[in-house]
Structure 1
């Protein structure tokens, strides 16, 4: 029988407090520096978008921030301590990770997959919150209506939302999301980014890898533009989404205009027609 342990929910960080950071971060894969000298901080209460072309190092940087990849240089800190100083159970209480794709070998139902997000809290007083937390996560991601279906029977977009529900159920104060909108239709892309904003408003630090610069502009407080494993620019989208920079990095001419209603930048490819 599981007995309750003395582990407690990590204190929710104060808004604006640095919750995760990288200093001089280097990650090598296959002998190549995929992330090379990155300095980055993310505060509680903000959404940071990692953007850039394919192969820029976005997913590798996200995995390093999660302490899921060994670091070849520099340091990652989470909740005030070097990431490697946390044990695996302690780390699971502080950060939740959504990978690009989710695959399961056994025929778990949707509800069972979402409930996996509560595993770090087993045997703690927070275990009492499992069912309402799972229910709320499924409602937020609009997967409750097929909660008893096997995960393997779902479409790609449905699986993506179930995987996000699992991350939300974990209730960690740092969310690291790798392309959470890639398989989603327009409605659910907006839904996912609204959830990101809601979690930030509740005090979480959110880091999200995005290819859609329009979504990054509309929902992120800051964006870090990666190119060749380095950060080419970071700051509010209105400052860093500059036509010359983006045209050079993406090797595609773009123009940047102001949204007529929100004032946020819109990045438009330059086309012949």
Structure 2
């Protein structure tokens, strides 16, 4: 693909990312407290995201999932505690250095100008302008668009897309950034069944390739099927952290969601299934 070149971000030449190894902690919150206005949204949360795994953040509305993701991205100030990105306090990185190390997918993607889809995806390459990896822009964009099935409408205006198409283009932008820490806020919310599965397969593939993937999910079934580890949040606290097969229990989920829930193995695969308990 031929596309525009993006200007180098302002500031001194950034420190290039170091090699990442399986198990490396790429994002960490320690005794984290976050306030939004007068409300304490996170209260003493500890969490780690490791290279080679998909970490799902789950919990009811208002539990603090998106706030925790934003804090791990160093996009929110903390009231107390510490956030580290790639082993260093988040505040020690410049904005440019952070952009080389972590890529963030917000809940919604809006643009004020009629950029074409390919141009939106190419925005993910902006941090690499002027670096030795700038020559990878075209293959990075093409690979990301192929993975998200957005090549067919590469020339269409982003504003003309459906909600689900926009969500996939936004994910393609994140993938094109080629950061080793991916922070995805409800990437499946606007998607149909096929593309929900596609997005979570991409998350697993990125983890298999050595990235750390942190994803906010509402669908517990998707979390159980694709996450290596899950953190359950409730009222701003992490109430459980571990493999979904171990921490997804009838009692815990029923308490957290204030809705009777059944957890049982799939009759064929043995995978964890979660369903609301309905009727008598």
TM-score range, shorter chain: over 0.9
Q: Which residue number in structure 1 is paired with residue 184 of structure 2?
A: 177
Q: CA deviation at 1:129?
A: 0.3
Write the distance in 2 (CA, Å) between the matches of 1:44 and 1:236: 16
| 1:24 matched to 2:31 | yes
1:133-191, Cα deviation, whole Å (9 max, x unpaired): 00000000000000000000000000000000000000000000000000000000000
Write the distance in 2 (CA, Å) between the matches of 1:44 and 1:3: 28
Q: CA deviation at 1:21?
A: 0.5
Write the distance in 2 (CA, Å) between the matches of 1:3 and 1:53: 40
For structure 2, the 5+ residue unaligned runs are none
The correspondence of residues 1-273 of structure 1 with structure 2, limited to 5 A, is 7=14, 9-272=16-279
1:97-122, Cα deviation, whole Å (9 max, x unpaired): 00000000000000000000000001
Write the distance in 1 (CA, Å) between the matches of 2:134 and 2:277: 53
- C-alpha RMSD of the superposition: 1.6
Task: Assess if the C-alpha contact under 8 Å between 1:34 and 1:228 holds in 2.
Answer: yes
Q: Calculate the TM-score normalised by the size of structure 1.
A: 0.97
Shift of the 168–45 alpha-carbon distance from structure 1 to 2, 3 Å rule, reads: same
For structure 1, the 5+ residue unaligned runs are none
SS of the equivalent of 1:24 reads strand
Write the distance in 2 (CA, Å) between the matches of 1:198 and 1:12: 18
